Structure 1
Amino acid sequence: MSRRFDIYAIGNALVDLEYAVNEDFLTQHGIEKGVMTLAEADAQATLLDALDANAPRLKQASGGSAANSIIAASAMGARSFYHCKVANDALGTLYRDDLLAAGVSTNLAEVRPEGVTGTCVVMVTPDTDRTMNTYLGITAEVSRAELDPEALQDSQWLYIEGYLCTSDSARDAVAHAHELAKQAGVKRALTFSDPAMVQYFLPQLKSLLADGVDLLFCNEDEARGFTGCDDLEEAMESLRQVADSGIITCGKSGAWAWTQTSAQILPACATTAVDTLGAGDSFAGAVLYGVSQGWTLENSARLAMQTAAEVVAQFGPRLSIERYRALRDAHQ
C-alpha cells in the first residue's frame, strides 16, 4: 500500500547553538561533561552570556535529535513529516523555515503560540566530545494537540525521540501516537537519545516503548544502562524483548545490527573526528531512509556508518543536502 510519508517523527524542537570550549570552562561552570543537562531559562541565559564572552559561536541552526534525523532522511529522499512545537518568536520562525527548506512537512503554522523557543547549547571540547545544556522552552509543552493523525497514519514509520520522556504531555502524545500507528499498521522506531535519559528517567523512557517497537537505536552505554547488563551481548538479548530489531552503536568499534534471529558487528568507517554532535542523529536518519525504501537493516546501517563518519569530521550536526544524496547514491 502506497503511503504519503515514509517517516513521521516526534521530537523536541530546539535551536542548536554550538561553541568550542575547553574542559576548564565546563569545570568552572559546574557542567557535567559528555551528557545532556536540562536547564532553566535563567541558567541558560547566564551560560550563553559566559560563552559569548569567551568563545565564538560556531553554528546556529534548527536542531533536536529527531529533527536532525528527519532532515538527514529527507535529504536522502524520504518523504518526511516532523511533529514539534516552537513559539511565535524569531528562533521559532528560523526553526520552521529550516524544516521547510529541507523539504520536511510539519505541523508548524506561520502563526504559533506565544512563548520562548527552546535552545540547546552545545559545547565541544578538544577531544571532540559534546556536552549539551538544554532549555526546552515551549517544546516541553508538545502534546497530542500537535499530532496530525492523518499524516501519521499515512506514513510507513513513526519515529520517537527518547528525550521526550522528560515531559508529561509529550509522553501522552507518544502513547497516543503508538495507538494511531498500531491501528494503521505503521511501524514504530525509537531512539534512547542520551545516556542521561537512561540514567535519570528510566521509568519514563520505558513508557515511550509502550508494548515494544519494530526498530530501536541506542549506543553501548545506553544499552548497558537500560538493561543493567555489563556484557553487550547480554544487553542485546535483553533488548530483543522490547524491539524486533535494533542497532547498538559503539563509536570507533563500529555497530551491532540485530534482529530476532541474527546479529552482525559492522566495522566503523575511517574518519578524523572533530565534533561528535549529531552523528547518532544522522546515523538514525540514514537507517530510517534505508528501511523505508525497502533496504535491509545491514545495508541501511552501512550507509548510516559512512554518514556518521562524515558528520563527525566537521563542526555541526548535519551534512549538506548534496552530500547526503551523494552518500545515498554511493550505497544504492
Structure 2
Amino acid sequence: MNKKYDVAAVGNALVDIEFTVSDEFLKNYQIEKGLMTLVDEERQTLLMQKINTKTTKMQCGGSAANTIIALSQFGGTGYYCCKVADDELGRFFVEDLSDAGVDNSLTGNSLEKGITGKCLVMVTEDAERTMNTFLGITQNFSTKDLNEFAIKDAKYLYLEGYLVTSENGKEAMLQAKRIAEQAGTKVSLTFSDPSMVKYFKAAFDDIIGPSVDLLFSNEEEAKLFTGKDNLLEAREELKKAANHFVITQGKNGAMIYDGDTFIDIEPYPIKAIDSNGAGDMFAGAFLYGITNGHSYASSGKLASMASSKIVGQFGPRLEWHDAKKILNRLHP
C-alpha cells in the first residue's frame, strides 16, 4: 500500500536553546546532570539570565521534531503533530519546521494564546547534555491535536516518550496508536530519557500494551524498563515489549533486534563535542532507512554514521549537505 508519509510523529514541540556550561554551573544551581528535568518558567528564566548567551544556538526542537527533521534531511517524508503558542517563539517554530520540509499540524491553523515551550540544553566540556524544560502550551497537547489522516497515511507512527508526563499527553499517545493500528500503520516508540522510564514506567506499560512494532532505547533505559542489571538479560526481556528494537550504546555503537536475530552496529569514533540530539538523529536516520528499502543492518549503519556526526558538532541537526554526504558514503 502506497502511503504519503514515511513517518508521522507525535511529540512535545519545544524551541531548543543550547548553551555551553561548566560542571560547576550545574552544581551551583543544583541541576541534575545528564537528565531532562521539567521546570517552571521562572526557574528557566533565572537560568537563562545566568548563562553566557554568546554560545547560544536556537532551533525548533523537542525530541520528535529532531527525529522527523533528520528523516526529512535524508530524503524521507514526514509529518509532525504538535502544539505551539501564538507568540514569537511559536511562529519561529512553525517557520523553522516548515523550512526543514516537514508537513505539520500547525500550518494553516490559527495558533492559540499562550507560551511556547522551551528547552534549555546545557552542554558541558565532556559533551554531556543536560536539559531543563518548560513545557508551556505543549503540556496541553491532547487528542484534538492529532491529525488522524496523516497517521493513517504513514508507514510508521513515531511516539515521543516525553509525552507520558501528562494524562492528556498519554491519552494522545494511546489514541494515535489506536488510529495507527486500525490503519495498518506500524507503531514506533522512543523512551526519550532515563528519567521518563524511572518515573513513568506504568504509563509506558499502558502505551506499549501487548507490544509495539519498533522501540528505541538506550542502554540505561533498557535496564530500567526491564529491571535487569545485565544488558544481555534486558534485551531478551525487551522482546516481550517490541517486535523489533534498537538499543543505542553511545561510543560502543548500538544493537538492533530485527525480529529474529541481534545485529551489532559498529560505532564511528569521533571527538565528542555535544551529545544532544544523538539519539533523535539515530532514530530519524534509522526510520528513513527501513521505510526506504534498506535492511535493518544498513539502516543501523546509516544511523550510526549520522549520530556520530551529531556528537562531533554543536547542535542536534545536520546540515543538508552533510546528510547527503553520509548517504553517499553508505551507497557510493
Which interval holds the TM-score relative to the shorter structure?
over 0.9
Tell me the residue number matched to 1:322: 321
Cα distance in 1 for partners of 2:206, 2:46 equals 34
Task: Give the match for residue 84 of structure 1.
Answer: 82
> For 1:19-98, what aligned pairs fall within 5 Å after superposition?
19-51=19-51, 54-98=52-96
- In the other structure, the counterpart of 1:267 is 266
**8 Å CA contact retained: 1:195, 1:222:** yes
Query: Within 2, Cα distance between the matches of 1:98 and 1:44?
Result: 23
Does structure 2 conserve the Cα–Cα contact (< 8 Å) formed by 1:8 and 1:159? yes
Q: Which residue of 2 aligns with 1:210?
A: 209
CA distance in 2, matches of 1:205, 1:26: 29
Query: Aligned partners of 2:293 and 2:239: how far apart in 1?
Result: 22
Question: What is the CA–CA distance in structure 2 between the aligned matches of 1:207 and 1:165, rounded to whole Å?
Answer: 10
Residues 150-198 of structure 1 deviation map (CA, whole Å, 9 limit, x = unaligned): 1110110000011111011111111111111111100111110101101
Residues 120 and 134 in structure 1, CA contact (< 8 A), matched pair in contact too: yes
- Give 3-state SS (helix, strand or coil) of 2:106's partner: coil
The aligned counterpart of 1:100 is 98
In structure 1, the gaps of 5 or more residues are none
State the AA in 2 paired with 1:229. K
Q: Which moved more, 1:15-24 or 1:55-64?
A: 55-64
| Aligned equivalent of 1:5 | 5
Q: Which moved more, 1:39-48 or 1:322-331?
A: 322-331
Give the partner amino acid of 1:90.
E
Q: What does residue 14 of structure 1 align with?
A: 14
Partners in 1 of 2:171 and 2:40 — Cα distance? 23
The residue type equivalent to 2:70 in the other structure is A
- Deviation of 1:206 (Å): 2.4
Does the CA contact (< 8 Å) of 1:159 and 1:189 recur in 2? yes
Which residue does 2:157 correspond to in 1?
Answer: 158
- 1:236 deviates by 0.5
CA RMSD of aligned residues (A): 1.1
Q: Tell me how far 1:55 sits from its aligned partner.
A: 4.9
How much has 1:33 moved relative to structure 2?
0.6
- Secondary structure at the counterpart of residue 243 of structure 2: coil
Letter in 2 for 1:272: K
Runs of 4+ in 1 over 4 A off after TM superposition: none
- Does residue 243 of the first structure (1) align with residue 242 of the second (2)? yes
Distance 2:259 2:74 in 1: 28
Letter in 2 for 1:136: L
Say if 1:23 and 1:55 are closer, same or farther in 2 by CA, change over 3 A. farther
1:285 is aligned to 2:278: no
Give the superposition deviation at 1:56. Answer: 2.5
- How far the C-alpha of 1:19 sits from its partner, in A, is 0.8
Matched residue type, 1:262: T
Letter in 1 for 2:60: S
For 1:163 and 1:211, how far apart are their aligned partners in 2? 21
Q: Does the alignment pair 1:229 with 2:228?
A: yes
- Aligned-partner residue type, residue 77 of structure 2: R
Q: What is the CA-CA distance between 1:41 and the residue it aligns to?
A: 1.4
In the alignment, the residues of structure 1 paired with residue 207 and residue 134 of structure 2 have an alpha-carbon distance, to the nearest angstrom, of: 21
How far does the alpha carbon of each residue in 1:57-81 deviate from its partner, in whole angstroms, 9 at most, with x for none?
4201101011000000011111100
Shift of 1:260: 3.1
After superposition, the C-alpha distances for 1:190-229 in whole angstroms (9 at most, x for unaligned) are 1101011011221123223233111111110000011011
Distance in 2 separating the partners of 1:16 and 1:113: 20
Match in the other structure for 2:125: 126
Partner SS for 1:201: helix
Identify the range of structure 1 (153-162 vs 41-50) with the bigger mean alpha-carbon deviation.
41-50
Identity %, equivalent residues: 44
CA contact (8 A) 1:178 1:210 kept: no
Cα offsets for 1:274-331 (capped at 9, x unmatched)? 0000011011000000011121111101000000110011100011122112212322
